[in-house]
Amino acid sequence: MKQMKDSVFLDSNILIYCYSNSELEKQQRAFQVIDNSLLLYISTQVLQEFCNVAHKRFLSQIVDLEKALTEIEGLVSIHDNTINTVRKANHLKFKYNYSFFDSLILAAAFECGCNILYSEDMQHGQIIENSLRIVNPFK
């Protein structure tokens, strides 16, 4: 599936499945994606979305969330979104008709130099700007 040269960006849903015990098959697949990727990236937006869902659904104590954030920080490089990220997202939103927040993830993936975006929420197999392939690892 993955070649060693791949730089991978993770959408928040991949991280969420890693910490949720409600869908064990998806959890196992999310761990495989992480284990089989050489270079992993997320953005501050992905962390924010992860925390929001974690607070609502499964990490009920601050200690649990702090532990999860420390684990995530040790696994991935974290991209800080800038005004240029927002500008790129605005362009991608109109060109590809994704929501602004999905477009912000696409823009961050480009800024990290990624060629694969793992996401459950976007169009599986679509190539964005001739260089970023969207992959739904649960298909």
> What residue segments make up the domains of the chain, in order of their start?
7-81+115-135
Question: Could you give the 3-state DSSP secondary structure of residue 3?
Answer: coil
Span 80-100, average pLDDT: 98
What pTM was estimated for this model as a whole? 0.92
- State residue 108's pLDDT score: 98
- State residue 56's pLDDT score: 84
What is the helix (H) or strand (E) element at residue 133, kind and residue range? Answer: strand 132-135
Q: How far apart (Å, rounded) are the C-alpha atoms in residues 87 and 104?
A: 9
User: How many other CB atoms sit within 10 Å of the CB of residue 7?
Assistant: 17
Q: How far apart (Å, rounded) are the C-alpha atoms in residues 133 and 13?
A: 17
CATH class of 7-81+115-135: alpha beta
Strands (E), 71-128: 77-79, 116-118, 127-128
If we measure between CA atoms, which residue out of 137, 45, 104, 138 comes closest to residue 128? Answer: 104
pLDDT in tens, 12-31: 999 999 998 888 999 999 99
